[in-house]
Structure 1
């Protein structure tokens, strides 16, 4: 089996085996040198050539051990094996020839054979074994030629040794191949586990709901940012802190009690709890707990090593902000009511028009001041109902007009100046605003009538929330260094509540009871149809009173060459 694709730097078992072989060669060389020295000391016939060979072999083995110990050679037969297998075969043959009849060095052939079987291919292992078998047979022939020993016994011993080496080489190679397969399987399992862990961590980190993992001692092993925010500790670590320790531990006691109840009863729990810190308003949470299975149970799946104890169960706690849940439910209800309202709006328009017309005819014949006031009240409320109906039906109109609108460009500064002048001319005394145009020669991809609708909605919305100061409402345009044009409507109103800010651009959502909640939604729909975007920020702007914070709605226009954005999910709204 070829291990050509194996990466040595990541192949720890084979690196250890390679180092073991290199160390073994050095030890064999040292043992041979010691044996030659003992033979010389015991007044045996000295063999200077054998002593020199052993010394050179030791030096070469040590050099290879010191310089080439990190990376095993390629398993393919090549020149890189001359310094190991070739040298071993040459040294054993030379020693056997120099000390014929004195010592038997045949067992030392096992070292290069094992080295080829473990770190080389099967072909190289069998080839090395074949070379060794031929050398053994040649050695038997040499002994017979010099009349040393029995000829048949010498050949039989060489053949048996060669056969044994073939079996050893094959088994060693199969064991090494099995090690490779097991290692590849372990690496694939590790990569899969790491990928699953990274995906799980990414999902948990970006969940809007909080996730806590804690043990029976209320020690937190993991917490995502949403959980830390709900716990009231923006600067808490993401792990390794206790819910029973610290200055905020008293506020976390409901969570600790729910976790303990889960461990005692042994199954999931769900409850609504309140986390209240000192000098802060309480945070209402809906909490669900799950228990991980014991990792020592026979059928339990493998669990991530979050604790040092393998038999310890963990409690996974999901924290949901009750206010956010209620807001989502409210939004869904409002959307459902909006669909129903849109259907009803068609039926209201005709009788409402009849009421308005009849009231106008009746008002011409009324002379009593009290009766004329009553007729005026009817007219004003009919007009209000007509505006609400128009706002509801504007959703369908906006979608249809935007779909049929041709691609067009307009000069941003000229269009904004003209639209702001028209809007201000309707009520000059009430509609005071400052216009600062800094997008000279900017051409944007937008329909003129749609820009008027967007700007009117933003200005009407800002007018309702601005202060009485004359510079409390400002409109500005600008271009970025990259050439992107933008339009901003700013007013010095009070900051929006966080629950209102989250649903600003949703249909039928409004913080005022007299509003239909469709103005900003229509703005967003028109911007998306033209490839633009709209967003809200809390910004400071210079005024006569100095820098003042206010609410800013910014429209970023797309370059004229880019296609418009696709329709949003709200396009399925039926009117």
Structure 2
């Protein structure tokens, strides 16, 4: 049983694009109609001029008109269908014109030519490109035309004309069979084209997803053929291979640069043995240190022939692997240090208390000196324990919108005054406050801890001269706090690890002060950094400056108004 017209399903779904099989079939039928028109004009014109049977000139003109119409359809029209429309005007006009012209030629027997085979063109066109109703209707119309011609001949002639009716009936049955078979083939073509289109869409989507995943991978991926050509490389792989790979498009030649020779050798061994390879490889980038990589290869069959296989190379930067391992070790060490600090704090408090009680009984200077030494080291241990516990105390939250933040300048002035009184270093600290009225998004206690850690760090390396430590505030798009000291410049190796935990250039420091500062800044959306610069006081001295850029917070008046509006 016939179903929906294939052209209505296929051409509409494909958007009448040139890659549709039905569009190509329509173009083929349109070209065939032009060829039929040319043949009819030539045959009838030849018969009119040279044939024994006279041919009317209006028949030649009709064929010429048919040729012009067919040529216009071929050049200027394209298939346009609508779902559910059984008779598209374009198909009906083309098929109707064919039936009209061929019927006139068949009835008149112009030039003594048998024109019945020409009806195969509109029948095939309706069956392949039209709906079920159009296909059956066209076949029925052709059968009726042939029977009508036989009836007309029976009226005009005498004798037994049964063979003409038989011939017309058999021809009609043949056209019905032709329409049925052609339509079934068209339906099958439509189903296969739809399935192919869906499969192609799924394959394209999968390929896009694969490309996106590979392009965003942190590990490098290379696809190498048997000749050592890199057929594909993601950005991470180009970064690992160096400038020579970044400036060129695929395919690259691994043997083109000596720095890639180890990777090329691993790929070649993979092809020769068929087994995956694993090794640590060093790629030299210019005159700097070589980049060490962990390289794995896998063989992927891309076709039936052995030469079609591809080698997939996975590359990992050993520096990143070591950094992740170091981070995990530091996290484990931090958890262990916190637990140890909790266990140390109580015995340490007991030692300090016992030392104070013992100190009251001591009279000799040497013994009191030993007691003072115990007190100093106990205080140092207590400070280290508190710094370790400070890391665990930092809460993982950020200030909410509308939260009241401290005003930067008064808070900094008060905290600096407390610190200088405690450390008896007021003459070495200079204040330069330049952010009046700026409220920052950080808790006051965290701001105090941040500033005290930066001042302790500055005091450790500053000289004894006046104004060796300078604390300044400013507004540079965001409120900025700067703690400057006139210490010596940091070595590059020290500068790279400034904010890492347990890193210090001094043996008597826990290495947690700057790490706690960084953690506090991250919790409150602030940014901390270091640079070598001139002093904020403008005296031209070079020193080490630690700066913190804060997010702004709502002042108390705005927050109170906001609370009234939302109450």
TM over 0.5: yes
Which moved further from structure 2: 460-469 or 337-346? 460-469
Structure 1 unpaired stretches of 5+: 298-309, 480-484, 562-575
Aligned to 2:55, what secondary structure does the other structure show?
coil
Residue 213 of structure 2, aligned match among 191, 194, 203: 203
- How far, CA to CA, are the matches of 1:354 and 1:328 in structure 2? 39
- How far, CA to CA, are the matches of 1:405 and 1:289 in structure 2? 50
- How far, CA to CA, are the matches of 2:398 and 2:546 in structure 1? 31
Aligned to 1:291, what secondary structure does the other structure show?
strand
Q: What corresponds to 1:380 in structure 2?
A: 376
Q: Does 1:240 align with 2:238?
A: no
Q: What corresponds to 1:108 in structure 2?
A: 118
- How far, CA to CA, are the matches of 2:76 and 2:98 in structure 1? 18
- How far, CA to CA, are the matches of 1:92 and 1:495 in structure 2? 98
Aligned to 1:287, what secondary structure does the other structure show?
strand
* TM-fit CA distance, 1:348: 1.3
Is this contact kept in 1: 2:220–2:316, CA < 8 A?
Answer: yes
Q: Deviation per CA, 1:44-64, whole angstroms, max 9, x where unpaired?
A: 312122111100011111111
Is this contact kept in 2: 1:110–1:165, CA < 8 A?
Answer: yes
Distance 1:90 1:490, change over 3 A: farther
- How far, CA to CA, are the matches of 1:229 and 1:422 in structure 2? 51
Is this contact kept in 2: 1:292–1:314, CA < 8 A?
Answer: yes
* TM-fit CA distance, 1:20: 1.0
Aligned to 1:251, what secondary structure does the other structure show?
helix
Residue 94 of structure 1, aligned match among 87, 104, 112: 104
Residue 73 of structure 2, aligned match among 43, 64, 76: 64
Residue 403 of structure 2, aligned match among 400, 408, 411: 408
- How far, CA to CA, are the matches of 2:481 and 2:141 in structure 1? 86
**Superposition pairs for residues 306-455 of structure 1, below 5 Å?**
311-366=307-362, 371-399=367-395, 408-410=403-405, 412-414=407-409, 417-418=412-413, 421-422=416-417, 425=420, 427-432=425-430, 434-437=432-435, 446-455=442-451
* TM-fit CA distance, 1:330: 1.9
* TM-fit CA distance, 1:32: 0.5
Residue 118 of structure 1, aligned match among 121, 128, 136: 128
- How far, CA to CA, are the matches of 2:160 and 2:512 in structure 1? 110
Distance 1:262 1:322, change over 3 A: same
- How far, CA to CA, are the matches of 1:80 and 1:21 in structure 2? 13
Q: What corresponds to 1:54 in structure 2?
A: 63
- How far, CA to CA, are the matches of 1:91 and 1:547 in structure 2? 101
Residue 46 of structure 2, aligned match among 18, 28, 38: 38
Aligned to 1:244, what secondary structure does the other structure show?
helix
Is this contact kept in 2: 1:500–1:511, CA < 8 A?
Answer: no
* TM-fit CA distance, 1:166: 2.1
Distance 1:207 1:466, change over 3 A: farther
Which moved further from structure 2: 465-474 or 103-112? 465-474
Q: What corresponds to 1:568 in structure 2?
A: none
Q: What corresponds to 2:287 in structure 1?
A: 279
* TM-fit CA distance, 1:429: 4.3
Is this contact kept in 2: 1:285–1:319, CA < 8 A?
Answer: yes
* Count of paired positions: 534
Which moved further from structure 2: 331-340 or 76-85? 76-85
Is this contact kept in 2: 1:223–1:238, CA < 8 A?
Answer: no
* Structure with greater helix share of residues: 2
* TM-fit CA distance, 1:553: 4.7
Q: Does 1:190 align with 2:185?
A: no
* TM-fit CA distance, 1:31: 0.4
Q: Deviation per CA, 1:57-98, whole angstroms, max 9, x where unpaired?
A: 1111111111125x5555732322243112111211222233
- How far, CA to CA, are the matches of 2:331 and 2:94 in structure 1? 79
- How far, CA to CA, are the matches of 2:137 and 2:484 in structure 1? 88
- How far, CA to CA, are the matches of 2:248 and 2:461 in structure 1? 40
- How far, CA to CA, are the matches of 2:155 and 2:454 in structure 1? 111
Q: Does 1:178 align with 2:178?
A: no
Distance 1:241 1:150, change over 3 A: same
- How far, CA to CA, are the matches of 2:254 and 2:462 in structure 1? 45
Which moved further from structure 2: 520-529 or 31-40? 520-529
TM-score calculated relative to the size of structure 2: 0.80
Is this contact kept in 1: 2:230–2:254, CA < 8 A?
Answer: yes
* TM-fit CA distance, 1:132: 2.3
Aligned to 1:286, what secondary structure does the other structure show?
strand
Is this contact kept in 2: 1:419–1:452, CA < 8 A?
Answer: no
Which moved further from structure 2: 164-173 or 425-434? 425-434
* TM-fit CA distance, 1:28: 0.5
* TM-fit CA distance, 1:323: 2.5
Q: Does 1:6 align with 2:14?
A: yes
Q: Does 1:291 align with 2:291?
A: no
* TM-fit CA distance, 1:320: 1.8
Distance 1:455 1:549, change over 3 A: closer
* TM-fit CA distance, 1:29: 0.5
Is this contact kept in 1: 2:408–2:440, CA < 8 A?
Answer: no
* TM-fit CA distance, 1:523: 5.4
Q: What corresponds to 1:158 in structure 2?
A: 168
Query: RMSD over aligned Cα, in angstroms?
Result: 4.0
Which moved further from structure 2: 287-296 or 454-463? 454-463
* TM-fit CA distance, 1:291: 1.4
- How far, CA to CA, are the matches of 2:438 and 2:20 in structure 1? 63
- How far, CA to CA, are the matches of 1:200 and 1:21 in structure 2? 42
